[in-house]
Structure 1
């Protein structure tokens, strides 16, 4: 039997956190397309609060990873800006604390795993949500989605070469899931 791949280790180790996020009340509203526009804007602002700094950190501190994974994976904040502009000017990222980005490549690969995984579920939401013109983030790579995902998976094995690398990636991925769960709580709360 072959040893598990980095993706298999990440998926197994984060399955509880992923399931928790999938069961969040906000996710139910998204899946049923019953999210009010103001909550959707808050959600986009919350995503922007994470993706903007993450992309900037990756581009400045980990250009080697950006090149390996493909620079197109680090443009999600542009999608979010496009979506937010649909709701008017001056829609800025939410003022939420983000994880302490690491200079460790394995940890940043773990964050990237969560970021890329979010595009998989997002494609289903893009078909349901009632916000035409504001679905770039969820539509993500469009018809190239599966090609992009399949291209990403082997790159994880190139970056995460041993169990210590995988452990650091898993820790980062879990913290990303926890952050998104907290951000979903913030969206639902309506508090600035």
Structure 2
């Protein structure tokens, strides 16, 4: 009787030990790869872009809940929050936005574009200049929010170079008496002004 009880107790303890071992799933998962999406992005300065990260183990199984640390390769061009939200600061790039997960990294290449020109103005309008003399025109470029944009490429043309010529810097030269239309173009946006050329005074 005693032997029977002893065997029963031993078998019971063995079963409990095996069950406890089989329930131990606390071993860490080995991270195989970290992929950031999109792999490349283009954002206009002042705008935002949300990035996501996909983490898989060495067998290709998706891992969730792992902490992610985000960094920007150049915070003067773009910053990134710890939720993966990128804020485009200034035109430039491409730069790398990196996600660090468990010793592995993933990247996206980010390019920031300048805010586009929405309107162009040309002053004075109209303008006048004497034959053989020069006058200066002023070009102003603005974005959709009416903010002045600087450093933009502007091309200037004259409708009649026999009456007045113009440089890309806005310098108009009177050639002969008459009128000419001067056009300023920047990023596909245009503005015009009429230049009246009058006879030179003695």
Higher relative contact order by CA 8 Å / sep ≥ 6: 1 or 2?
1
Larger of the two Rg values belongs to structure? 2
Q: Which of the pair is proportionally richer in helix? A: 1
Q: Which of the pair is proportionally richer in strand? A: 2
Which of the five TM-score ranges fits, normalised by the shorter chain? under 0.3
- What TM-score, normalized to structure 2? 0.19
